Amino acid sequence: MLNIQKALKSPLEEFTFKSSVSVDFEPETFSNNFVDSIATVNMNYYVDYDNVIHIKGFVDVPCKFVCDRCAGIFQKNLYFDFEEEICKKSETDEDDDGFAYDENGNVDIQEIVKNLIITNFPTKILCKPDCKGLCQVCGVNLNDQECEHQNKKIGKNNPFADLLNKLGGKNNGSSKK
Ligand SMILES: [Zn+2]
Ligand SMILES: [Zn+2]
């Protein structure tokens, strides 16, 4: 929890907030990927003359990812910058859009960080940018070993097979789009 009473009394003055935040997600939230329960948030904020908090910072949280291509498991930190504007919670307005601080100046940092992790979670997960994936025929991990099927990758039924073979066949770069 962050309390912004001091910032409210001192508009435009910049404050720093750094904390470890507990972010417990349900096990299936990120399908097979796992987000550690402790995230680090590091940010600066100030309050403007309309009592809106302006936050700028970053979140860093260790994760265990499953590669979309080779299904390999690897550890990496999810790291992203963010900016948020937070208004005072209105007593009449019931809609839950966005974040708000309460009448005591408390900001629910945990809720904000959890939401930021969800919106910033990668949609495409690769163990490395050029992950070769698995052979679709025998299932070997092509990052670790080659298999006999890779030379025949350009199937005979592919209408461009002849052309592709003329351009140099396998992986020498000349046939890449
Ligand atoms: Zn991979
Ligand atoms: Zn194979």
DSSP state at residue 134: B
Q: Does residue 126 fall inside a structural domain? A: no
Amino acid, res. 119: T
Domain identity same for 104 and 139: no
Domain end point (choices 73, 91, 120): 120
Name the strand (E) or helix (H) holding 78. Answer: strand 73-88
Token pair recorded at residue 25: 């997600």
Which of the ligands is closest to the CA of residue 137? 2
Which of the ligands is closest to the CA of residue 147? 2
Domain identity same for 44 and 100: yes
Q: How many domains does the chain have?
A: 2
Token pair recorded at residue 126: 């690769």
CA 25 to chain CA centroid, Å, is 14
pLDDT of residue 4: 94
Q: From the CA of 159, how far away is ligand 2's center (Å)? A: 22
- Convert the pLDDT of each residue in 124-142 to its tens digit: 999 999 999 999 999 999 9
* Among candidate residues 20, 3, 16, the one with its CA nearest the CA of residue 45: 16
Q: From the CA of 166, how far away is ligand 1's center (Å)? A: 30
Q: From the CA of 150, how far away is ligand 2's center (Å)? A: 6
- Burial class, 53, CB count within 10 angstroms (exposed 0-12 / middle 13-18 / buried 19+): buried
Q: Please, what is the average pLDDT of the chain?
A: 87
Domain identity same for 99 and 152: no
Which of the ligands is closest to the CA of residue 152? 2
- Convert the pLDDT of each residue in 61-73 to its tens digit: 999 999 999 999 9
Q: CA–CA separation, 78 vs 122, rounded Å?
A: 9
Write out the residue range of the structural domain in which residue 55 sits. 2-120
Domain identity same for 34 and 98: yes
Which of the ligands is closest to the CA of residue 131? 1
pLDDT band at 176 (very low <50, low <70, confident <90, very high): very low
Q: From the CA of 68, how far away is ligand 1's center (Å)? A: 7
Domain identity same for 81 and 147: no
Token pair recorded at residue 129: 């940018």
Three-state secondary-structure class, residue 74 = strand
